[in-house]
């Protein structure tokens, strides 16, 4: 990148070469950080980035006195903060008044016109982000302080935590064509977590036995106010800038419009809210708001409305504020993603592995525009921890594409006759005794013949996580199981077109497709897919792939001892004994014999459909690490479909490591071994070549 774009560290003959190199590295790394995290358009490989990063680390270790206050190495942030200090905002951080209808919006515009008849009619609009408001202060282009909104007058100092947010520029970029940066710039915006990141974060937290966050906003707020910056760093926070506080432009060219300001903030290096737009008049604002409302679920982050701001900054200043909120801006609020309703009862659902999951039966209520009448309650302990009684008024929420859940009861509204729920100790479907093992939260039905377990097991067998038999919907499986015709996955392969025609709404074409899809799956299923399809407890797709690499077929796997199994990476005693228990079960052994008889007997690495694939990934080994924009299992499926084999760990046998955000030790190991590391974009390019 051209160094003369960077005004802060002028290249000067008096500067020692090492210091000059350090400054150049800081500039270059910040540039690539921005390309990667803000623009989503990396210019160099992760390897190349890390090489520069390590070079800077080494130079800083040798010359700590030259370390720049905006060095990207400071983002590592492993230090502990003291208690959060409070500090006054130079300009108060106001809230926004809300409008809920077109009428209220027109009233707002009318009030504005009365207050300032010459005010222009154009409005800058952007989505209202549901996160945590934050102010970041830059002096001479350098990040010097960050404050939460607090009560609007005083915020908490969260500078160290904010430095760890990867898309926050530690130093402002000088926009092309601009001569200088502002002397002081207070940037305001929202700290959010993207919905996909949130889901992955909670998955990880639950896997480590930590309590999941209730919603992305809580996660963002909680982690930003952490005393431990390493904990903040562990959460994928992002900052989106949408306004400013005090600005001393100095020699910099002042902005005159909100839209221009947004463009300038982007040029300084900030991520700004998606879909921001200039609306020439109040009617265009209404259309904009409708559009955002329709698109609400498609935004990467949670939004709870749209904001319209007078575009002219001079008019903004002239309009000023009421005691609570600006007169020049207003929020269109969308329905909350939380709502109150009555808990009428609790249903028990029996899952594929026999787990009894309590489900709240609710009076139907719209939550963020979607009717909700059922919500998960997770397990017996959760019901107790949440102190729920039947008849309670409860708060339900939908968050980050997650299934609706009950947040808790509104205790003030509890009726006197609200009844405590007694968790059943028998399976509600087959009536047999259920068990709860010590140290486990779940009650389980162990009856292999339980119709509920059968149905789920068969659905899993044909699902994407199983043999991935296309075109067989859940409703058909339900009918086939309910009629008794299909009692095990093996029965599916004996279905013929004429008998299928007896089922309601089944036509000739569909029936033929059905039979063909199963025949195709039977002939081409890979060993790993079949192992995964069996639905062995604790054996997901990743473990199934690993097993398929080490055992030639199901016979070999069935013969493996717990000790043998535990030799494999990632397989501990629990997984190993679960595999043993599966194969030791007579009913399962009988099922495998039927598979053998049907010719559904894949052998590792031989004659499988995926091996016929051509393209850049065919025959290659690959592994995924870090956060990708899709689930890792999904990425693995895509790679397998192109003929790649997904490995379980980094070793010399690995061809490609695809590293997403926050890649950790696997990435380091791959680099040490000189393995080709791809980012998600490069991986997608390879997929495209297949
Ligand atoms: S503009 C002068 N734009 O919503 C207006 N605020 O409920 C200053 N918020 O405190 C704010 N998304 O923290 C603006 N696109 C957006 C916003 C936004 C979320 C927050 C902001 C404010 C709160 C009011």
Least confident of 25-34, 401-410, 588-597: 401-410
For residue 224, which of 127, 86, 84 has the smallest C-alpha distance?
84
Q: Using CA atoms, how far apart are residues 617 and 621, in angstroms rounded to an integer? A: 8
Say what the pLDDT of residue 414 is: 93
Residues 423 and 443: beta-carbon distance below 8 Å: yes
Query: What is the reported pLDDT for 204?
Result: 77
DSSP SS3 for 370: strand
Q: Locate tokens 């102190």: which residue?
A: 387
Ligand 1 centre distance from Cα of residue 96 (Å): 6
Residue 313, class by beta-carbon neighbours within 10 Å (0-12 exposed, 13-18 middle, 19+ buried)?
A: buried
- DSSP code for 316: H
pLDDT reading at 5 higher than 70: no
Q: Both tokens of residue 94?
A: 């106001």
Question: Rounded to 5 degrees, what are φ and ψ at 434?
Answer: -100, 165
> Over 80: is that where the pLDDT of 605 sits?
no
130 C-beta closer than 6 A to ligand 1: no
Model pLDDT for residues 379-406, shown as the tens digit of each residue: 999 899 889 999 999 999 886 556 788 9
The total of other beta-carbon atoms located within 10 Å of residue 147's CB is 27
Ligand 1 pocket, residue 95 CB under 6 Å: yes
3-state secondary structure 541-608: HHHHHHHHHHCCCHHHHHHCCHHHHHCCCCCCHHHHHHHHHHHHCHHHHHHHHHHHHHCCCCCCCCCC
Ligand 1: residue whose CA is nearest its atom 22: 95
Partners of 157 in the β-ladder: 147
In the chain, pLDDT over 90 holds for what percent of residues? 55
User: What confidence category does residue 614 fall into, taking pLDDT thresholds of 50, 70 and 90?
Assistant: low
From CA 78, how far away is CA 490, in angstroms rounded?
54
Summarize the confidence of residues 407-424 as an average pLDDT.
93
The residues, any chain, with a CB within 8 Å of residue 609's CB and separated by 6 or more, are 523, 524, 525, 526
Question: Which tens digits make up the pLDDT trace of 565-594?
Answer: 999 877 888 899 999 999 998 989 999 999
Tens of pLDDT, residue by residue over 275-318, are 999 999 999 999 999 999 989 888 999 999 999 999 999 999 99
316 lines ligand 1 (CB under 6 A): no
Confidence of residue 77 (pLDDT cuts 50, 70, 90): very low
pLDDT given for residue 21 in this prediction: 94
The structure tokens listed for 135 are 């102010």
- d(CA 210, CA 219) in angstroms, rounded, equals 13
264: three-class secondary structure by DSSP: helix
* Residue 655: CB atoms within 10 Å: 16
Q: Which residues contact 261 (CB under 8 A, 6 or more apart)?
A: 243, 244, 255, 313
Residue nearest to atom 16 of ligand 1 (CA): 128
Is a pLDDT exceeding 60 seen at residue 2? no
The tens digit of pLDDT for each residue in 216-240 reads 887 888 788 775 667 677 788 999 9
Q: How confident is the model at residue 81 (pLDDT cuts 50, 70, 90)?
A: very low
Within a 10 A sphere around the Cβ of 584, how many other Cβ atoms? Answer: 11
- What's residue 270's pLDDT? 97
Binding positions for Zn(2+) are: 427, 430, 445, 450
Residue closest to 660 by CA, chosen among 684, 641, 638: 684
Beta strands in 103-200 (DSSP E): 123-129, 132-139, 142-148, 154-156, 184-192
Tens digit of each residue's pLDDT (9 = 90 or more) over 240-278 = 999 999 999 999 999 999 999 999 999 999 999 999 999
pTM: 0.55
Is residue 326 lining ligand 1, measured as CB closer than 6 Å? yes
Beta strands in 249-353 (DSSP E): 277-279, 303-310, 329-333, 338-350
Question: Which structure tokens are listed for 610?
Answer: 């995926």
C-beta separation of 316 from 123 below 8 A: no
* C-alpha span between 149 and 156 (Å, rounded): 7
φ, ψ for residue 170 (rounded to 5)? -80, -25
Angle 658-663-667 from CA coordinates, rounded to 5°: 65
Cα(262) to ligand 1 centroid in Å equals 14
- Tokens 């202060």, residue? 137
Which range is most confident: 71-85, 181-195, 568-582?
A: 181-195
Query: 297 C-alpha to center of ligand 1: Å?
Result: 19
In this structure, are residues 662 and 687 in contact, taking their beta carbons and an 8 Å threshold?
no
- Residue minimizing CA distance to atom 14 of ligand 1: 242
Give the whole-angstrom CA distance, residue 539 versus residue 114: 67
Residue 283's SS3 state is: helix
Look up tokens 């695809």; give the residue: 658
Binding-site residue set for NAD(+): 46-50, 126, 149, 190, 309, 333
Q: What is the C-alpha separation between 165 and 33, in angstroms, rounded? A: 11
Query: Is the pLDDT at 369 greater than 50, yes or no?
Result: yes
pLDDT (0 to 100) of residue 609: 41
In the reported structure, the alpha carbon of residue 310 is separated from the centroid of ligand 1 by a whole-number distance in angstroms of 13
> What's the first-to-final CA gap in the chain, in angstroms?
34
Q: Evaluate whether 461 touches 489 at the Cβ level (below 8 Å).
A: yes
Distance from the alpha carbon of residue 245 to the mean position of ligand 1, in angstroms: 12
Q: Is 152 a residue whose pLDDT tops 80?
A: yes
- CB contact at 8 A, 143 and 169: yes
Note whether 353 and 537 are within 8 A (CB): yes
Q: Which of 150, 155, 94 is nearest to 309 (CA)?
A: 94
Provide the pLDDT for residue 82.
44
Q: What pLDDT is recorded for position 402?
A: 64
Q: Find out whether 292 and 303 touch, Cβ atoms under 8 Å.
A: yes
Rounded Cα gap, residues 24 and 591, in angstroms: 65
Q: What is the mean pLDDT of residues 454-479?
A: 89
Q: Which residues are part of the catalytic machinery?
A: 128
Using alpha carbons only, how large is the chain's radius of gyration in Å?
A: 29
At 33 the three-state DSSP class reads: helix
Tell me which of 169 and 482 has the higher pLDDT: 169
36-45, 53-62, 120-129, range with greatest mean pLDDT? 120-129
Task: Yes or no: say if 394 and 376 are a contact pair by the CB < 8 Å rule.
Answer: no
Angle between helices 102-115 and 282-295 (to 10 degrees): 140
Provide mean pLDDT across the span 191-198: 90
Entry field: residues in the chain: 690
Alpha carbon distance 375, 355 (integer Å): 16
Q: Which residues contact 591 (CB under 8 A, 6 or more apart)?
A: 488, 489, 490
DSSP string, 428-476: TTT-PBEEE-TT---EEE--TT-HHHHHHHHHHHHSTTTT--TT--HHH
Coil, strand or helix at 483: coil
**pLDDT of 173 higher than 80:** yes
* Cα–Cα dist 102/112, whole Å: 15
For 504-513, what is the mean pLDDT? 89
> Which has the minimum average pLDDT: 359-363, 374-378, 632-636?
632-636
Q: Is 146 in the pocket of ligand 1 (CB under 6 A)?
A: no
Highest mean pLDDT of the ranges 217-226, 318-327, 598-607: 318-327
Q: Would you state the pLDDT for residue 401?
A: 55
Q: Distance (Å, rounded) from C-alpha 46 to C-alpha 677?
A: 7
Question: What distance in Å separates the CA atoms of residue 612 and residue 610, rounded to the nearest whole number?
Answer: 5
Which of 128, 217, 332, 333 to probe ligand 1 with, by most ligand atoms within 8 A of CB? 128
List the residue whose alpha carbon is closest to atom 11 of ligand 1.
243
Distance CA 682, CA 660 (A): 11
Burial class (CB in 10 A: 0-12, 13-18, 19+), 618: middle
> Could you tell me if 24 and 12 are in contact, meaning their C-beta atoms sit under 8 angstroms apart?
no
Q: Is the pLDDT of residue 26 over 70?
A: yes
- Mean model confidence pLDDT for the chain: 87
Residues of the binding site: 46-50, 126, 149, 190, 309, 333, 427, 430, 445, 450
């Amino acid at each position: 990148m051209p160094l003369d774009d960077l005004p802060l560290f002028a290249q000067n003959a008096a500067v020692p070469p090492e210091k000059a190199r350090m400054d150049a590295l800081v500039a270059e790394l910040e540039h690539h950080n921005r390309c990667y995290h803000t623009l989503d358009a990396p210019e160099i490989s992760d390897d190349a980035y890390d090489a520069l990063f390590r070079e800077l680390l080494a130079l800083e270790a040798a010359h700590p006195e030259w370390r720049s206050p905006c060095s990207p190495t400071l983002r590592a942030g492993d230090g502990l903060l003291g208690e959060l200090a409070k500090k006054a905002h130079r300009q108060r951080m106001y809230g926004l008044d809300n409008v809920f209808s077109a009428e209220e919006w027109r009233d707002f515009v009318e009030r504005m016109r009365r207050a300032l008849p010459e005010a222009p009619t154009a409005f800058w609009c952007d989505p209202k982000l549901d996160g945590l408001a934050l102010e970041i202060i830059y002096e001479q282009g350098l990040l010097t302080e960050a404050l939460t909104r607090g009560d609007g007058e005083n915020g908490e100092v969260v500078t160290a935590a904010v430095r760890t947010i990867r898309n926050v520029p530690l130093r402002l970029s000088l926009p092309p064509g601009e001569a200088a940066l502002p002397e002081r710039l207070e940037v305001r915006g929202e700290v959010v977590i993207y919905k996909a990141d949130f889901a992955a974060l909670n998955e990880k937290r639950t896997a480590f036995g930590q309590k999941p966050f209730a919603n992305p906003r809580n996660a963002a707020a909680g982690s930003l106010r952490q005393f431990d910056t390493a904990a903040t760093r562990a959460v994928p926070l992002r900052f989106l800038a949408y306004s400013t506080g005090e600005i001393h432009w100095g020699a910099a060219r002042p902005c005159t419009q909100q839209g221009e300001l947004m463009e300038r903030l982007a040029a300084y290096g900030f991520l700004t809210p998606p879909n921001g737009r200039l609306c020439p008049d109040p009617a265009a604002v209404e259309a904009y708001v409708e559009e955002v409302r329709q698109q609400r679920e498609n935004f990467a982050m949670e939004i709870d409305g749209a904001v319209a701001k007078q575009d002219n900054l001079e008019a903004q200043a002239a309009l000023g504020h009421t005691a609570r909120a600006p007169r020049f801006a207003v929020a269109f609020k969308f329905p909350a993603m939380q709502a109150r309703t009555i808990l009428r009862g609790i249903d028990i659902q029996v899952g594929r592995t026999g787990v009894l999951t309590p489900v709240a039966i609710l009076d139907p209520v719209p939550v963020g525009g979607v009717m909700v009448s059922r919500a998960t309650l997770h397990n017996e302990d959760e019901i107790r921890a949440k102190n729920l009684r039947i008849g309670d008024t409860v708060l339900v929420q939908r968050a980050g594409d997650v299934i609706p859940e009950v947040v808790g009861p509104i205790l003030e509204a509890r009726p006197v006759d609200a009844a405590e729920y007694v968790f059943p100790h028998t399976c509600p479907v087959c009536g047999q005794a259920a068990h709860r093992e010590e140290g486990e939260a779940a009650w389980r039905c162990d009856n292999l013949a339980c119709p509920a377990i059968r149905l789920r097991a068969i659905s899993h067998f044909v699902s994407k996580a199983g043999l991935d038999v296309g075109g067989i919907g859940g409703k058909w499986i339900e009918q086939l199981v309910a009629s008794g015709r299909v009692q095990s996955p093996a029965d599916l392969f004996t279905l013929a077109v004429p008998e299928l025609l007896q089922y309601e709404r089944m036509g000739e074409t569909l029936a033929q497709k059905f039979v063909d899809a199963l025949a195709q799956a039977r002939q081409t299923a890979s060993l790993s897919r079949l192992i995964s399809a069996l639905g062995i407890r604790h054996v997901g797709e990743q473990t199934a792939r690993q097993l398929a690499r080490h055992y030639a077929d199901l016979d070999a796997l069935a013969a493996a001892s717990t000790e043998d199994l535990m030799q494999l990476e990632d397989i501990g005693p629990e997984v190993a004994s679960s595999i043993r228990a599966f194969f030791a079960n007579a009913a399962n052994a009988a099922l495998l014999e039927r598979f053998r008889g049907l010719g559904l007997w894949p052998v590792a690495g031989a004659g499988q459909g995926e091996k016929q694939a051509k393209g850049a990934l065919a025959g290659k080994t690959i592994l995924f690490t870090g956060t990708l924009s899709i689930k890792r299992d999904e990425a693995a499926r895509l790679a397998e479909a192109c003929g790649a084999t997904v490995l379980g760990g980094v070793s010399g046998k690995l061809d490609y490591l695809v590293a997403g955000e926050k890649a950790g030790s696997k990435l380091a190991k791959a680099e040490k071994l000189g393995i080709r590391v791809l980012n998600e974009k490069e991986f997608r390019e390879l997929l495209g070549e297949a």
